[in-house]
Amino acid sequence: MFTCKEYKKAATLEEAWQLNQKRSNLLIGGMLWVKMGHRSVGTVIDLSDLGLDTIEETEEEFRIGCMVTLRQLEKHEGLNAYTNGAICESVRHIVGVQFRNTATVGGSIFGRFGFSDVLTMMLALDSYVELYKGGVIPMSEFVSRKRDRDILVRIIIRKRPGSFAYQSMRNTKTDFPVLAVAAGRIDGRLFISIGARPMRAVQLVTDAKNAADAGLPDGVLETISEGGKITPEQAKALGEYAAGAVAVGTNLRASAEYRQELIRVLVKRACLAL
């Protein structure tokens, strides 16, 4: 059971940050993950009065407050137009509508869960995390950082000419993914992220520098950089490359061998969808 002695709705980010420095206190988003554990905390710190529950869209970027729910991501027209529906696809399998109406973007990203669809998706976009004390850092850097007691204020997605796709495999509907893949073609570079390996999602970048090292066949890079259609042969080669480049593991949902096979298939499908 999860219990707390006090509940505090923070009036400012500074107040929330000060309270969160005490190890016995706990910052919450939707509280859906933390309530699953057995834990007794001093004060739970709620950010829901700070106006961080909106998605702002400008010509250059999307600014997604940490208290935005997964359902807001799923339904946001601008985000889904920009990502070719990939954002919606990345969250729509998570449990159910009521759940997604409560689970927050802040809790999903700050948790850096190995199974995270949301994190996998963000790693294929030009995305950043804005931390209250730590400033703005690329998502790819944040994902491998050690957990600290900072506050994730918002996610920033910079708009770049590109296309995006998302694929996941689940043993049964609404379960955690067995493997998740997101692909983004941004400014002539290909970003592939692989999540639910079952370790934390990783990002692979294919550009002029590493295409030869990756053993990709001639023409793949040109196709990517010139915005041409990726052929089935090229998509297959990209799947092979990703399967060889990313470490996978075994857990109760699937073996490492099965996950490696899934990488081949899902990366191929995502690249064809691009």
Residue ranges that bind ligand FAD, judged by CB under 6 A: 26-34, 36, 66, 70, 94-95, 103-104, 106-108, 110-111, 115-118, 151-152, 176-177
Closer residue to ligand FAD in complex, CB, 32/256:
32
Write down the least CB distance from residue 209 to ligand FAD, Å: 31
Closer residue to ligand FAD in complex, CB, 135/219:
135
Write down the least CB distance from residue 213 to ligand FAD, Å: 31
Write down the least CB distance from residue 84 to ligand FAD, Å: 20
Write down the least CB distance from residue 264 to ligand FAD, Å: 22
Closer residue to ligand FAD in complex, CB, 108/127:
108
Tokens in use for 116? 């995270």
* Cα distance between residue 127 and residue 186, in whole Å: 12
Write down the least CB distance from residue 175 to ligand FAD, Å: 7
Closer residue to ligand FAD in complex, CB, 94/194:
94
Closest residue to bound ligand FAD by CB: 107
Closer residue to ligand FAD in complex, CB, 177/184:
177
Closer residue to ligand FAD in complex, CB, 36/252:
36
